[in-house]
Amino acid sequence: MRRIIAVLLTITILCSCLTGCKEEQEKKMPADFGTYGADFARNLASEYPFRKAYSIQETLAGTMIKTEFENLGYDVQTQPFTGSTGEQSNNYIAIYNGSGFYSKNEDTGEYIPTERYIVIGAHYDSAFLREEKDAYNEEHGTTYGYDGISDNASGIGVLMTCAKEIKSYTGLGFNVIFVAFGASGDDLAGSKAFFNALTPDVRSKLEVMFCVDSIYAGDKIYASSGLSSLISGRKYEMRRKLYQSYDVAFENNLFTNYGFNLLYNESRIMTDLDGNGTEELYNEVSVNKSDYIPFDNALIPVVYFDSFDYNFKTLEEMHDTKNLDLQGFGGMIRNTLLDDSKVLDEIYVTEEDDLLRMRINCLAFIILGVGMKGSDSALTYTQYVNALESERAAQDAA
């Protein structure tokens, strides 16, 4: 009987340990953010598919995003602006206040509380009006639908997931500005208006701008820096957050856990990328234009995420996908009528997998993970305390 009791106790203890280990593993699973971001992206695309810049549906889509920010507990700033045509659109801005940083005054040696900022941005307008879609179908005898799920409801899904999940990231030092850009299709009018409205103080403390655009339809997910990182002597400074993005993906085994692979553009084409008359190496940057450009032009580091295929020998050959079922517009999905949930979900969603959900969650996880790595020019509170202790220890030893 004693032996039986002992065996039963041992089994009970082992089961408890295994259960505890399993629960611990589940708690540590990275990027397990559920369906929230993909659901919001699909709802946005379904409700307002024809949200071209300055359209009624763009206005309604912006209101939907504003309401969702408010549902997440944010005070939302509506930032109206006038585009090149004289028409008006809006940016929607929500701010998460981090715990702050400490920087050392080189003259006095004192540590001073300071702020650092991150911008996470995505545009919410799409490429077509309903009448433009209908006219194309009539002219070509086609029956395309359209809702702009990839360009750029998918990016808004990442934005909203970051805004939702950031509140569980205790110890984040950065103030994070979430911004949904309007009228990106009008030569990036929304992001230009947002950047121009930033105060000099915020600009000076802005460490990186994350831009998410068209991350559903392409074959692969890439992260790129801006063309300003081509400036001699500034490569590492401008690409540090880019490299940290890859660190987060690698350190958390996102490929093993989800099959998510974050890639560099390594096409290595020599061409004049920035129009300065000199050929540069097309590597770790992109010529795909998006809302990061005003920040990049101001020499603020950017990380641009998109789904594309840069593995070609010329810039002209590059397109979103090699998928044989998506070649109606030469492999391009963004800015075409193939950018449609019904088309893409049929290819990329199965009972086991949802590519949109996986990409949204993994990119949100990467962006927030880079934020948790801290500032490149200031100390978190923990680092500040450790620095003080080290300085005191050095003084005592002296």
pLDDT at 183 over 90: yes
Q: In this predicted model, what pLDDT tens digit does every residue of 77-118 receive, in sequence order?
A: 999 999 998 999 999 999 999 999 999 888 888 999 999 999
Round to whole Å and give the CA distance between 232 and 222: 23
Q: What is the pLDDT of residue 387?
A: 86
Q: What is the pLDDT of residue 24?
A: 47
Q: In this predicted model, what pLDDT tens digit does every residue of 290-347 receive, in sequence order?
A: 999 999 999 999 999 999 999 999 999 999 999 999 999 999 999 999 999 999 999 9
Helix (H, G, I), strand (E, B) or coil at 383: helix
Q: What is the pLDDT of residue 18?
A: 56
Q: In this predicted model, what pLDDT tens digit does every residue of 28-52 receive, in sequence order?
A: 689 999 999 999 999 999 999 999 9
Q: In what order do the strands lie in the sheet with 117-123?
A: 76-82, 88-96, 175-181, 117-123, 206-212, 302-308, 220-224, 262-263
Q: In this predicted model, what pLDDT tens digit does every residue of 191-229 receive, in sequence order?
A: 999 999 999 999 999 999 999 999 999 999 999 999 999
What does pLDDT average to over the chain?
93
Q: How confident is the model at residue 393 (pLDDT cuts 50, 70, 90)?
A: confident
Confidence (pTM): 0.91
Round to whole Å and give the CA distance between 257 and 270: 36
How do the domains of the chain map onto residue ranges? Answer: 37-397
Fold classification of 37-397 (topology level): Aminopeptidase (3.40.630)
Q: Among 38-42, 144-148, 377-381, 394-398, which stretch is predicted with the lowest mean pLDDT?
A: 394-398
**Which two structure tokens, joined as six digits, stand for 62?**
């912006």
Q: Are 223 and 241 in contact (CB under 8 A)?
A: no
Q: Are 229 and 238 in contact (CB under 8 A)?
A: yes
Q: In this predicted model, what pLDDT tens digit does every residue of 110-129 receive, in sequence order?
A: 999 999 999 999 999 999 99
- For residues 253-269, one letter each, b for 16 or more C-beta atoms within 10 angstroms of the residue's C-beta and e for the rest, the string is ebeeebebebbbbebeb
Type of residue numbered 62: G
Q: Are 58 and 50 in contact (CB under 8 A)?
A: no
